[in-house]
């Protein structure tokens, strides 16, 4: 238990000192923009196409957000544990 606590303490203290790689979040931003664009269409009276685009954008945001989160977590542990 002490070993685990020591490893976690070192990881937390050393993590910010390591150079960070920027994860690419452009796909997440594009999917978010798709949701906003669909919502604007609904506001402009194009309910059918706006709803369709908003629904697709929500799905894309979920998918791309999960991928982005996975890459970010992987990068964090790669930096901390050097794999």
Range 2-21 average pLDDT: 56
Would you give the distance in Å from CA 55 to the centre of its chain? 19
Query: pTM of the predicted model, to two decimals?
Result: 0.62
Q: Domain residue spans in the chain?
A: 26-83
Q: Which residues contact 54 (CB under 8 A, 6 or more apart)?
A: 34, 35, 38, 39, 41, 42
Model confidence at 80, in pLDDT bands (50, 70, 90)? confident
- Banded model confidence at residue 81, pLDDT cuts 50, 70, 90: confident
> Is the torsion defined by CA of 15, 70, 21, 23 positive or negative?
negative
Burial of 3 (0-12, 13-18, 19+ CB in 10 A): exposed
How far apart CA 50 and CA 67 sit, in angstroms, is: 25
> For the residues 23-34, what does the mean pLDDT come to?
86
Residue 79 CB coordination number (10 Å)? 18
């Amino acid at each position: 238990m002490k070993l685990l606590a020591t490893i976690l303490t070192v990881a937390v203290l050393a993590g910010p000192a390591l150079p960070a790689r920027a994860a690419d979040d452009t796909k997440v931003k594009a999917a978010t923009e798709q949701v906003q664009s669909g919502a604007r269409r609904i506001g402009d009276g194009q309910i059918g196409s706006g709803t369709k685009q908003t629904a697709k954008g929500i799905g894309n945001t979920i998918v791309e957000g999960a991928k982005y989160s996975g890459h970010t977590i992987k990068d964090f542990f790669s930096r901390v544990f050097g794999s």
